[in-house]
A = this chain, B = another copy of it.
Amino acid sequence: MASILCRISKTLVNHLLPPFTKGLIRPMVTLSWPFQSQPRDLSLPNPSWSKEMLQHYELYNSQCVGEDGKEGSGPWRRLPSYNRLLKFATGGVLLSKIIQSEARLFTRNIKIPGAGFEYVMFIKKSQEKCVCIFQAGHLLEGPPGHVHGGATAAMIDSVNGTHATYVCGPVMTANLNINYRNPIPLGSTVVLESTLDQREGRKAFFSCIVTSIDGSKVHVESKALFLSISMSRILGG
């Protein structure tokens, strides 16, 4: 299926990209669906979301609104999520070498709602915390009836990595150290909480705890190290 390259509006760009990129790049988006003018935000509720997932989503979403009643002026910010990476140009030069029309973000590669990773992330504007509400679909099985350790690792890497990108700019995962405490039942909703522990030059240390939705059970605890890198390193330059 041929992809469509189209420019997107400045408003949408500001919503899509991490703060450090603002004003530096001229974004373009490769879309997967012909005739679609804007990418679909996959972190919004869909019919597969459980009652617990919706309730927790509302809990954080309500904190994106400030005391003045304005959307976006609260202490938290919902992060949109797409199944394609942004393709962009700097100084008018299209970095076409990274365009792979069929490539899809690993954690958004299943189209059937509820079958794979359903999740939404919120970041605290003060940047020390990032939270993800994650509902594990039936295609993520590892041990019978439970989530694969690799699927949990993928979500932890995504949440810590997103958090690191907002705090530090472009980063790559250097280390991920995961302690699995209690397996996560397939179909359940859990909460991942990412914390910025320390920064030392190019290094940023994060931790993550994965708990049941009510916080009563710890499923996983992990530590991660991210390294700041240049944009050209990410793009393979």
Contacts and interface: CB of A to CB of B under 8 A. Distances in A.
Interface of A: 85, 97-98, 100, 102-107, 109-110, 116, 138-145, 147-151, 153-158, 161, 172-180, 183, 186, 234-236
A107 B153 contact: no
Number of copies: 2
A106 B179 CA distance: 20
Most interface-central of A116, A150, A178 (chain B CB within 10 A):
A150
Nearest to A229: B143
B176 A105 contact: no
Contact of A150 (B85, B158, B175): B158
B234 A143 contact: yes
A172 B143 CA distance: 8
A74 to B, nearest CB: 30
Given A110-B109, A116-B109, A148 B140 contact: no
Nearest to A182: B172
Contact of A180 (B104, B151, B175): B175
Given A145-B103, A157-B150, A158-B150, A183 B178 contact: no
Contacts of A85: 141, 144
A24 B175 CA distance: 40
Nearest to A136: B106
Contacts of A98: 144-145
A106 B235 CA distance: 28
B172 A183 contact: yes
21 contacts: A98-B145, A100-B141, A103-B139, A104-B139, A106-B139, A106-B147, A106-B151, A107-B150, A109-B116, A109-B140, A148-B154, A149-B153, A149-B176, A150-B151, A150-B153, A151-B154, A153-B176, A154-B154, A174-B180, A175-B177, A176-B177
